Chains A and B, each alone.
Chain A
Amino acid sequence: MTHRDGLAIVTFGWIAAGFIGTLPYLLSGSIPDFTMAYFESVSGFTTTGASILKDVQHLPPAVLFWRAQTQWMGGMGIIVLSIAILPFLGIGGMELYKAETPSPVVDKLTPRISSTAKLLWKIYIFLTLFLIILLLLGGMPLYDSICHSFAAMPTGGFSTKNVSVGYYQSSYIDYVILLFMFIAGVNFSLHYKLVSGHPKQFFRDPEFRVYLYITVIAILVVSANIYGTVYPRIQDALRYASFQVVSIMTTTGFVTADFEQWPVFSQLILFVFMFLGGMAGSTAGGIKIMRIILLVKHCYLEIFRIIHPHATTMVKLGRTPVSQTIMRSIWGFFILYLVIFMIGAIALAALGLDIISALTAMATCLGNVGPGLGSVGPMDNYSVIPVTGQWILIVSMLLGRLEIYTIIVLLMPAFWRK
């Protein structure tokens, strides 16, 4: 299997998965419109969590279960799942693995890619089961626990309740889900190192430390901003701020508070976080912390070179030097991400959306987050978006999930030449 075959299989595989995912919605009559059903299906598989459904609580439980299950399968990667299950995919499996999980640095935990895929799925299943048990202990019914775990571990965000996790009004449930959203935003190879007896590597990882610092600082800043203005008690401000910051940053999209009612400063922080995402190699979407670190370091080095033009410098991640090829790829990704975001937002605005809704809808769908602001806010849904706009967002979700290059490369005529 060549790299081109891998890219084509992954892209067409995800498009096909979206089509198959629509069948239960259409046949059960839960979503009779094809575009809306495809939107919901792609939103599930790409773990975006953006929904066109106005009232999920009136849908059949099995349909809601399927909705959560699509997120769970899409989180670790439907192709990676195939590699894990089918031993013969070990041959050429690396091409599929790289095409579906295109982080800047590919983590190959074991010599065989099928063993790596199996290992990742074992960690994923263990964490999901653990979350189900913890939610059950918090008094959440079994069905809701499974559905919410299926949506939290892949950083999806589909809930069985109209007001999402906020329905339960339980600080225990909020904090348990918050913790697991944070865990899901961590590189899964670090989880492996933790369980394989190398816990120090977990905390030595430069990306993890930045991920942790950014999260803590953002929680404190947003808490300080909403304390007094929205919530009179500091514990409430901390609880809701931490949940929303982690939910948006890890691109999960669960909601416990209507953050549209928060001061603009907090809303702006959440908007910026829609771009960040979790760590590379996690189930989170967005640009990813690793890319942000390397971009910032590269910018710093360019400034340094102006002062010291003859200095020999190289971008490093921890103690590992990062090659120019990887840096070029990251800059390319960053520019493409912003260009697609701008083009998409302008197209949505042209379809009649207000500027806040257009910008945040595009940011959340490209980053696989879910709730935005304005008419696609945490208490609203995407049914208000015109059909053309929904197709733009479907493409954005797929681009975001497969990290742009995997799909864009298929549009190049050179890709199809022999």
Chain B
Amino acid sequence: MKTGLIVYMIALLVFYLGVSMFLPLFVALVYQDGSAFAFFVSILIACCLGGVVYLLQGVKKIFI
């Protein structure tokens, strides 16, 4: 079982889900329904979490 690969793939998925939230963010901005900040923070959390884990796995793959 390649744990590193599993973490790498899930991190990528989390990052993607974060990116996919741009669409509802756009809807929130169009409708001005007050949820834009929630989507902005959600994108930040998902992209940062996914991105950092993804990059860390990548670094591990190169140097370790």
Q: Which of B13, B31, B37 contacts A61 (CB 8 A)?
A: B31
B residues contacting the other copy or chain, number (CB 8 A):
31
Distance in angstroms between the alpha carbons of A156 and B41 in the assembled complex: 26
A60 touches B13 (CB 8 A): no
User: Which residues from A are CB-within-8-Å of B36?
Assistant: 62
Distance in angstroms between the alpha carbons of A69 and B20 in the assembled complex: 9
User: Which residues from B are CB-within-8-Å of A96?
Assistant: 9
Distance in angstroms between the alpha carbons of A23 and B39 in the assembled complex: 8
Q: Which of A21, A28, A86 contacts B17 (CB 8 A)?
A: A21
Min CB distance A114 to B, Å, is 15
Given the known inter-chain contacts A12-B10, A60-B28, A62-B27, please indicate yes or no for A17 contacting B34, CB distance below 8 A: no
Given the known inter-chain contacts A23-B45, A69-B23, please indicate yes or no for A82 contacting B35, CB distance below 8 A: no
A23 touches B31 (CB 8 A): no
A202 close to chain B: CB less than 8 A: no
User: Which residues from A are CB-within-8-Å of B31?
Assistant: 60-62
One of A2-10, A213-221, A350-358, A386-394 contacting the partner: A2-10
Residue in A closest to B5 when the chains form the complex, CB atoms:
A5
Distance in angstroms between the alpha carbons of A104 and B2 in the assembled complex: 27
A20 touches B18 (CB 8 A): yes
Min CB distance A30 to B, Å, is 8
List which A1-54 residues lie within 8 A (CB) of chain B: 1-2, 4-5, 8-9, 12-13, 16-17, 20-21, 23-24, 27-30
Distance in angstroms between the alpha carbons of A2 and B3 in the assembled complex: 12
Residue from B5, B13, B34, B46 whose CB has the most chain A CB atoms within 10 Å: B13
A9 touches B23 (CB 8 A): no
B6 touches A16 (CB 8 A): no
B33 touches A60 (CB 8 A): yes
List which B12-64 residues lie within 8 A (CB) of chain A: 12-14, 16-18, 20-21, 23-25, 27-28, 31, 33-39, 41-42, 45-46
User: Which residues from A are CB-within-8-Å of B13?
Assistant: 13, 16-17, 78-79, 82
Min CB distance B31 to A, Å, is 4
B9 touches A13 (CB 8 A): yes
Q: Which of B17, B27, B42 contacts A17 (CB 8 A)?
A: B17
A residues contacting the other copy or chain, number (CB 8 A):
36
**Mostly helix, strand, loop or mixed at chain A's interface?**
helix
Given the known inter-chain contacts A9-B10, A60-B33, please indicate yes or no for A24 contacting B21, CB distance below 8 A: yes
Min CB distance A163 to B, Å, is 21
Residue in B closest to A23 when the chains form the complex, CB atoms:
B42
Residue in B closest to A67 when the chains form the complex, CB atoms:
B24
User: Which residues from B are CB-within-8-Å of A73?
Assistant: 17, 20
Residue from A28, A63, A69 whose CB has the most chain B CB atoms within 10 Å: A28
B21 touches A66 (CB 8 A): yes
Distance in angstroms between the alpha carbons of A303 and B9 in the assembled complex: 48
Residue in A closest to B12 when the chains form the complex, CB atoms:
A82
B34 touches A20 (CB 8 A): no
User: Which residues from B are CB-within-8-Å of A8?
Assistant: 1, 6
Given the known inter-chain contacts A23-B45, A62-B33, A416-B1, please indicate yes or no for A16 contacting B24, CB distance below 8 A: no
Q: Which of A13, A61, A85 contacts B33 (CB 8 A)?
A: A61
A65 touches B27 (CB 8 A): yes
Interchain residue pairs with CB less than 8 A apart (9):
A1-B5, A9-B9, A13-B9, A17-B13, A61-B28, A62-B24, A63-B24, A65-B23, A79-B13
Q: A5-B2, A20-B42, A24-B38 are in contact. List 16 more A-B contacts (CB 8 A).
A: A5-B1, A5-B5, A5-B6, A9-B5, A20-B14, A23-B38, A23-B41, A28-B38, A60-B28, A62-B24, A62-B25, A66-B21, A69-B23, A78-B17, A82-B16, A143-B27
A-B residue pairs, 9 tightest by C-beta: A62-B28, A60-B33, A28-B38, A27-B38, A23-B42, A60-B35, A66-B24, A28-B35, A62-B27
A residues in contact (CB < 8 Å) with B: 1-2, 4-5, 8-9, 12-13, 16-17, 20-21, 23-24, 27-30, 60-63, 65-66, 69, 73, 78-79, 81-82, 85-86, 96, 143, 416, 418
